[in-house]
Structure 1
């Protein structure tokens, strides 16, 4: 009965929200600060590689009414033609349950039929959307009634805004300084060597992306050698709940460096683990993880820190 009632409420709100003038302004720069008492609708940009948003004012006054309203809004065409709905075509929020400030959202099965990087952005946008409702602290996702899992088959669990790294609330064009420990390779091309440097990076981007970009720039110490060609392109770096998703374009396959095949992979994994406390790294090329890097590194698995490859 609760499921039927929820569906009827959502359908009613979809009709009522059509043409509603509740959106205020649009942006695609720095994420709004969670400390600012405003509400936002979150979307993807046209390239589907970052989150954008518009300011919004709820029509419903209470928690459950706002949950239903936000669900309905996930199917409404964005007012800005540059924006794309978080949920892909054919995917919807089928049902919800709110208990002890934990909101469970059940997504339809088609959610799984999209690139991993888009999934993460979609989940991140949905978490930010619903976590701003008073009375909702955590969001738990299911797909057709089953727990949402990561690419290794592990249940994702309940998420909060803190599960995502997005430098919320930073000033546009602001920079931060931090010490990074980066791993390059030695003369043999079969071992990793650490290099510590002070780096200024744009606070508009996740620090994880700055780490990967510093690795591509190459080493600065004598006896250290690069692990990537300098023309390697990073499409996106997203962090969620201790897992970092690194998406390259196919230029990453064109490296002619004479190094072991696992060295570039673990240079990133070890650098992220050392600098950002990242637990696992999932790689993809042009959004696809069902492939191999060079000839042997399976990108469908998540990689963890490898101490054995570090030169003693």
Structure 2
């Protein structure tokens, strides 16, 4: 049942350099996510659960998500005819195998259902990623590509936002190797709100850092993306001063080409212009001039 679906790593670890899972447990209990009656967004209710161990919490959460919420504007996440056939914990990953009825859900509803399950079960101690299978087969997207391991950050739309218009992306993102002198690529499947541009999604995920073992952050986490756009096949990336920080032990070209290679690999851009607070007359670590329009650097990619 264990399959490493989506992630054919070239060598790497997009969410967090050490996994920044939200443990949403307090005196109010756990957040159980539900779907609104219009089937356009997710909202949660706090529930006190009785189980103390991981398996008990999983079973209890799945049952609670079938129950009618207190809020009349919400409804259960999991349809009555969909059952959980099997599950398995492996390291920080939870593998779920649903009955064939899972595939009968309308696509938008299924995305909401999946997001609710990931957000709810992600509160279980030790669960960083959730994998979906149906009757023993990997869950796939509209193009037939395997969804693979997921966590809540891969549903870019925030709770309460409309997600009727969503897109899927198969991204190759470049992070640093252990020595900090080469880039390693990671394939990641994501579903995101269509209001977010693909180029913005890419840079924000690079800032978030790699989610899997084998690769390391390239961009200081305090970096802010001020704006980004593509015109005439050039991607213009405007970052704040946080990008100039030296928080990670990587050679000077790695942060720059982490962005450049990732954008050119996944968008229509053929070149990238980076600016700091709108200024291109800046130097990066005293050797890289931002007046440069950068092209993809294949030589930095670890083979």
TM superposition score normalised by structure 2: 0.45
Q: Which has the higher contact order (CA 8 A, sep 6+)?
A: 2
Looking at secondary structure, tell me which structure has more helix per residue: 1
TM superposition score normalised by structure 1: 0.44
